Amino acid sequence: MKSLFPVAAVALALTLPVAAFAQSNGGLTRAQVRAELVQLEQTGYRPGDGDNAHYPEAIQAAEAKVAAQNSAVGGAAVGSSAAGGPALDAK
């Protein structure tokens, strides 16, 4: 019985950080998930059509189309930051 307490204490100490880490994630809001679903549907993806035979390929293709659309519309390119460069004169 005396050895049960240290084992339980160690198990609790190991699980608390994992539980705290899981809670710290903000996640997506319902509106963000809905907006993503609307974007996927605009590319032709239909989640409720019952075609489970092509599910992984269909969602991946739709996500690729959405990513291409989002990167082509005013998004900053990777590595395009001017930080650390010389200051420009504002005349």
The mean of the pLDDT values for the chain is 75
Spatial contact of 30 and 7, defined as CB atoms under 8 Å apart? no
Q: Is residue 7 one of the residues assigned to a domain?
A: no
Q: Is residue 21 one of the residues assigned to a domain?
A: yes
What confidence tens digit (pLDDT) does each residue in 43-73 have? Answer: 988 888 887 888 889 889 999 999 998 887 6
Q: Is residue 90 one of the residues assigned to a domain?
A: no
Where in the sequence is the domain holding 39, given as residue range(s)?
A: 12-68
Q: Is residue 4 one of the residues assigned to a domain?
A: no
Work out the percent of the chain whose per-residue pLDDT is above 90: 26
What is the structure's pLDDT at 8?
67
Q: Is residue 82 one of the residues assigned to a domain?
A: no
More confident call, 90 vs 65: 65
The total domain count for the chain is 1
- Report the C-alpha gap between 19 and 25 in whole angstroms: 11
